[in-house]
Structure 1
Amino acid sequence: MAAEVRSPRERYREQNRAEIKAAALQQLAEGGVQAVALTRIAKDMGLSGPALYRYFAGRDDLLGELIRDAYDDVAQAIAQADDGRAEDPRSTLHALAGAYRSWAVAQPHRYLLIQGTPLPGYAAPPDTLQRARAVLGPFLKVFAAGVPAEALRPTVAEMAAWVRKDDGVADWVAQHTGLPPRGKVAGTALAGTVLAWSQLHGTVSLEVAGLYAGMGHRASTLLTAQIDTLADSFGL
């Protein structure tokens, strides 16, 4: 298929949007979400305030784009960690967890942007959910091969019930496992993925926030132990 031909005006618009987002990311890295200011970006780019609003409707619109980009980037990093790996669920799980952590540590300002609410009253774009699920999709495939320990059965049962009543979740599980979305495996895959996400989010968020500073361990060592324990509990 031939590449889409864009007009000079379209290319100019895309270039300006990219520059605005780059400037916003710089502000985000320097001072957090509160430091993102469209008026300052416009001034630095030599644009008037009203001119900037031709590219983004407001700060929430701009933040929404940054959030989409961040989810897409971390999803790509995890997909690359999963691509072409040997059929070893445990090593794959470690690779996925490592990719998640590496991305977050390399750009903590973007990680913190997609965790929690950036600003009071801010509502993330509706398509954010699908992007977040894309990040975790490869984990579903790993845990689909698991046999959960007895202690995990209540969690697996709740996840299986969630799949049965939520078509969106059922489609997500089926897409990444290639298995019937409402079979027994679906609950196992979803339980393992949510548990992995909880472990990753907790450990990585504490590391990115600097709360492990001065303690006698490395976050990577802690995460490796957590992932091994989780793999053991699913017989991986």
Structure 2
Amino acid sequence: MAEPQRGPRARYREQTRAEIKEVALRQLADGGAGTLALTRIAKALGLSGPALYRYFASRDDLLNALIRDAYDDAAAAIGEAAARAQDRSPRERLRVLATAYRAWAVSEPHRYALIQGSPVPGYVAPDDTLERARAALGPFLPVFAGGSPGADAASMVDRMAAWLETDAGVGSWVAQYAPDAAEDVRASARALAGAVLAWAQLHGAVGLEVAGQFAGMGHDGETLLAAQSGMLADAFGLE
């Protein structure tokens, strides 16, 4: 069924919201989330303060929208990489996904910062960001489902098996991205363990790089991430 056409008022509202977010992103890029100010955004767009509040009720409401967009864009980049690599070996798919994650973060450092930690003190992200975060991490699940984790990863697999027993939503997440593993608790647990460990390693390396912490250390983010991906693949026996 075709979507109903939106009227001029709805299109104008959507366009104005997009313009507000664009100005907000420039503020983020220039000074971080702490410098985000609705009054400055309104002035840049030639709007009054009350007029801007018709589009975003508060600074946190605007942050919510920016964070949702960032997660969605990151998930799209990783999902596209997964589609390109679907016929490759699990080890190679892991490398491709890790590379896509890093490429997005390095190209969008101010947006990456929004989704990897609290952007401002006291901010509480909306509940739906959990599903968006899982969408970004989801393509990693099938990579690890068929692995053979060594002793170092065994305890993590056991912990994920316990998580599956207590949270039905986690099982649904695995079923969405790794349907072949969904009926096998151990395969699902391997998928989760690998994905969570991949996220931890990626965030550690990429977060340091985006923050400029590698300056003067004699290496680069791409080389480090490749090494980390290889070690994780070894830990899970990925071919």
Q: Report the TM range for the smaller structure's normalisation.
A: over 0.9
Q: CA deviation at 1:14?
A: 0.5
2 CA distance for matches of 1:59 and 1:212? 32
- Unpaired segments of 5 or more residues in structure 1? none
Q: CA deviation at 1:145?
A: 1.7
SS at match of 1:83: helix
Corresponding residue for residue 141 of structure 2: 140
Corresponding residue for residue 36 of structure 2: 36
When normalised by structure 2's length, the TM-score is: 0.96
Amino acid of the structure 2 residue aligned with 1:31: G
Q: Which deviates more, 213-222 or 180-189?
A: 180-189
The yes-or-no answer on 1:27 pairing with 2:27 is yes
The yes-or-no answer on 1:91 pairing with 2:92 is yes
Amino acid of the structure 2 residue aligned with 1:218: D
Q: 1:226 aligns with which of 217, 220, 228?
A: 228
2 CA distance for matches of 1:126 and 1:93? 28
2 CA distance for matches of 1:160 and 1:117? 29
Q: CA deviation at 1:30?
A: 0.2
CA displacement 1:143-181 (0-9 Å, x = unmatched): 012110122111110111001110111110111110335
Q: CA deviation at 1:6?
A: 0.7
Corresponding residue for residue 159 of structure 1: 160
Counterparts in 2 of 1:52 and 1:184: CA distance versus 1, 3 Å: same
Q: Work out whether residues 171 and 181 of structure 1, in 8 Å CA contact, stay in contact via their aligned partners in 2.
A: no
Corresponding residue for residue 60 of structure 1: 60
When normalised by structure 1's length, the TM-score is: 0.98
2 CA distance for matches of 1:120 and 1:200? 24
2 CA distance for matches of 1:182 and 1:231? 21
Q: CA deviation at 1:122?
A: 0.6
Corresponding residue for residue 47 of structure 1: 47
Corresponding residue for residue 13 of structure 1: 13
SS at match of 1:143: helix
2 CA distance for matches of 1:155 and 1:8? 53
Q: Number of matched residues?
A: 236
Q: Which deviates more, 12-21 or 83-92?
A: 83-92
2 CA distance for matches of 1:81 and 1:104? 14
The yes-or-no answer on 1:74 pairing with 2:78 is no
Q: CA deviation at 1:183?
A: 1.4
Corresponding residue for residue 101 of structure 2: 100
Amino acid of the structure 2 residue aligned with 1:169: V
CA displacement 1:44-84 (0-9 Å, x = unmatched): 11111000000001000000000000000000000000104
The two structures, once aligned, show a CA RMSD in angstroms of 1.0
Q: CA deviation at 1:3?
A: 3.8
Q: Work out whether residues 163 and 181 of structure 1, in 8 Å CA contact, stay in contact via their aligned partners in 2.
A: no
2 CA distance for matches of 1:205 and 1:2? 42
- Unpaired segments of 5 or more residues in structure 2? none
Q: Work out whether residues 163 and 182 of structure 1, in 8 Å CA contact, stay in contact via their aligned partners in 2.
A: no
2 CA distance for matches of 1:103 and 1:36? 22
Identical amino acids, percent of aligned pairs = 62
Corresponding residue for residue 199 of structure 1: 201
